[in-house]
Structure 1
């Protein structure tokens, strides 16, 4: 999605940056994992196909993707950005007739970062971005029935289970963004900073005197 191609979002423990070509090799390595393929219902792609996918996601009007970075590692300018990658988070505008409905998807690809509340922070950050920048009024999350950790996380964020599909073995959870939800979300994310991504990258590359 063009809207976020020069946007970075800085939270307490993570930084969200646009999914760029330089992130593809690491992302491609992640997606060789049978576990991640199962959790994300994804088919393995060649590296070339992964580059094509990255480009299409950048251009598509209905997909908004950020790469999740470890903020502590990222603030060390000697560490390359690709080495800070933890996972990714997406908003899909799935209904052409209703642009206020969005599907939310998050992947913490690095096992050492799971179970530490990072997924919860990232989800809140992405919801805040979706509400304020994309006009989202209802979020959906479709999760495999065997991914109990993700189901529990979304329920802790007050998503409600609305249906179970036995054929696809997934559960659908939803949250409607009314005024109280919006207010709470903006309050919770008051410390989140939106920055110019190109400027941030430039600052990281400049030697510290």
Structure 2
């Protein structure tokens, strides 16, 4: 994908710290956006042109709704950026069912269902030689599961494993699956855990820098962005 101009891209989690940064860069480079969030007010406040869709990834049918909104608005779908996610902290033995269910529903099952829903439209994009992609953010914890974040790490590792296998399948269809695994990034997510309290963390990456690296990878045709692809590394 040598240019994003005119590409129809769905950004899931566009109101988040990283999703909003990605959306701004995509818009600046000419992409036509469908912006998802659970708060219309927050998405509108981004002042990024696009079609808004409100949806909860935990709800049945939300995946189809997201894809259909993009298709109705723009007539095609050439890419999906899944930047939605939730986090939880605390010992593995303390994680209750509600926390486990939410972590896996949003971080793992949501993207899996979204890929399933988006595949027919992405196949059409591939047939039209528009180099479609589906981007996930499994993060550094999928490479290095972290103590006191065991359930969160597991949900992201599940997403990474799914992406590796699905990417091999989709390659035959002309659809590129990209997984990005940046280290801790200052998105504010750690201040909004679904359970527990975040430990003291070193200063993380600037979301704008991570977003720039991700968009550059989309344009350059990259398929994998391990933690080492994001430099410089945050201070220890």
TM-score range, shorter chain: 0.3 to 0.5
| Greater share of strand | 1
TM superposition score normalised by structure 2: 0.31
| Greater share of helix | 2
